[in-house]
Amino acid sequence: MKINRIMALQLMAALSLSIGFTSCSKKSGSKGTSAATGWKINDKKGGFQYNAKYKKQETPPGMVAVEGGTFTMGKVQDDPMHDWNNTPNQQHVQSFYMDETEVTNFMYTEYLFWLKTIFPPTDENYKNIYVGALPDTLVWRNRLGYNETMTNNYLRHPAYANYPVVGVNWIQAVEFSKWRTDRVNEAILEREGYLKKDAKITEAKAESTFSTESYLASPTSTYGGNEELVYKGQRNKLAAKEDAKNVYAQRTTGIILPEYRLPTEAEWEYAAVALGGIREYNTYKGKKKYPWSGQYTRSGKRQYRGDQLANFKQGKGDYGGIAGWSDDGADITNEVKKYPPNDFGLYDMAGNVAEWVADVYRPIVDDEANDFNYYRGNIYMKNKIGEDGKVEMVTTENIAYDTLSNGRIVARNFPGQIAQVPIDDNETYLRQNFSKSDNRNYRDGDKQSTRFYNFGNEEEGTDEKKDDKNRMYDSPKHSVTKDSLGNLVRKYDHSDKRTTLVNDDSRVYKGGSWRDRAYWLDPASRRYYPQDMATDYIGFRCAMSKVGPKSGKKKARG
């Protein structure tokens, strides 16, 4: 009896100890406290501030969510070109957002309006900013065709407002994406009480603009350092304290969206083919030749039977069919959303206009090097730090301009942004995943890949003519310089020994267009074009990475 009583007391002690540990564990990980230290989070007195109530990334304006997954990239059903340009390979793409439609004339002219308002082209300091962003409307001209109506009206006339913008080169598309990032985040921060209402309209000017990265690095430097326009956050518990820290929006706040950008080739192709609509459990039912289900370009639905599902060229001299009953409803481009979306809810992923993607073009996709979020074109940069130890801001005096091969001048940053420089040995030393800033030629086109590479040769790199001869892609090397009077001096490469047009400035475009036959509507088809040139059949749409879980909720089987 005495032994049983002792055992009972020991059992009660063990249970109380267990309960004590459980309650302690629960307390340290409970809402409002740190599971690591037990300290209070978001204390009114100060300390660690964090958005513990964050739920999910908000859907960016104009975009739809694309759930990531695996697919066979580069799988074309036909190959009439016989150019070894597509090699099927299995790739996995992370979830991301993509524009529902191509960027329209309306969207791009809003960009032009902002540039013209903030950086007046009448000001000598800024004239190249606005002019460099203008689409090339002369792309519509043809030596033996009358297209002056489009040359004069397509970009700005309201009749074409919701048509995809064309005449935009790859560089301009990238700059538009950067601008869009700042304007969207500026509006979000205003909505959430971190910026003065309407400051983006009434206060913004050349020396006083908003930049997402500049705000994150130094919030008080926003709008040219006018702190009256930048708030500590109306909902922040520490906002009333003058000396309080961590009271401005940060990455940890969770409201600032990632950057708008061009989609990678893998993302674009994955989004276009939209295999989700023909899957059963973890396998695909049948094949898809186009962004829609089926093997044909015409609709099989009773209500729309016989209608074309995309805007493309159907034959010589046939861009839209016979008058009175048009095959695809358009002769040149067409208004967005005129054709059914694919299974991801994306419009015009085939036809209308082809689209720029982010990748540098190479004849092969190196899936042996990487089969996850594949992308060729990484150039890693970092914020430039001044002699005072602070980030260096772009001003009127140090705006970076690029002179393109055709002599056009394009601004690559604006006042108010943080100056960028390539990464150096401090970031690459003893790393295994990358070793330099510019990775466009990794495993293809670098010195080790050339036919005449002589490892360890001390004379290597000293003979410019020899190096030019031995480079992997001996494309023409045109140059544009300025003379002492500021006039452009164009030097054209007249060599007849060049064997390719591929170089590090060749960018991939996808999707087929109003000028293309049906073969190019296949999402896996791919072509390239110089990044500083534009056409009347290439446009673009933006993408944005999705942070957090792959999908929002668990999907039903089937």
Reply yes or no on whether the pLDDT at 255 is more than 90: yes
pLDDT in tens, 83-93: 778 888 999 99
The token pair at 73 is: 């990239």
Residue 71, SS3 per DSSP = strand
Q: Which run of H or of E encompasses 322?
A: strand 321-322
Q: How many CB atoms lie within 10 A of CB 542?
A: 24
Residues 104/159, Cβ–Cβ less than 8 Å: no
* pTM for the full predicted model: 0.89
- If you count them, how many residues does the chain have? 558
Q: Which run of H or of E encompasses 441?
A: none
First to last CA, the chain: 63
Reply yes or no on whether the pLDDT at 262 is more than 90: yes
Between 12 and 392, residue with greater pLDDT? 392
Residues 163/335, Cβ–Cβ less than 8 Å: yes
pLDDT in tens, 293-329: 777 888 777 767 778 889 999 899 999 888 877 788 8
Reply yes or no on whether the pLDDT at 427 is more than 50: yes
Q: Highest-confidence range of 158-172, 280-294, 318-332, 489-503, by mean pLDDT?
A: 158-172
Residue 171 CA: distances (Å) to CA of 133, 135, 241, 262, 490: 9, 11, 44, 10, 20
Q: What pLDDT was estimated at residue 557?
A: 56
**pLDDT band at residue 240 under the 50/70/90 scheme:** low
Q: How many CB atoms lie within 10 A of CB 50?
A: 15
**pLDDT band at residue 24 under the 50/70/90 scheme:** very low
Residue 179, SS3 per DSSP = helix
**pLDDT band at residue 271 under the 50/70/90 scheme:** very high
Between 146 and 493, residue with greater pLDDT? 146
**Residues 392-410: what's their mean pLDDT?**
87
Q: How many CB atoms lie within 10 A of CB 438?
A: 13
The span from the CA of 500 to the CA of 103, in Å, is 31
Residues 58/257, Cβ–Cβ less than 8 Å: yes
CATH code of the domain occupying 63-192+255-369+508-545: 3.90.1580.10
Residue 269, SS3 per DSSP = helix
CA atoms within 13 A of residue 140's CA, in its CB half-sphere: 16
pLDDT in tens, 35-77: 899 999 888 888 888 888 888 999 999 999 999 999 999 988 7
**Residues 249-278: what's their mean pLDDT?**
91
**pLDDT band at residue 78 under the 50/70/90 scheme:** confident
Residues 357/507, Cβ–Cβ less than 8 Å: yes
Q: What pLDDT was estimated at residue 199?
A: 92
The span from the CA of 66 to the CA of 93, in Å, is 10
The span from the CA of 207 to the CA of 466, in Å, is 47
Residue 229, SS3 per DSSP = helix
Domain ranges of the chain: 63-192+255-369+508-545, 378-439, 441-455+463-503
Q: What pLDDT was estimated at residue 23?
A: 43
Q: What pLDDT was estimated at residue 517?
A: 93
pLDDT in tens, 184-212: 999 999 999 999 999 999 999 998 999 99
Residue 482, SS3 per DSSP = strand
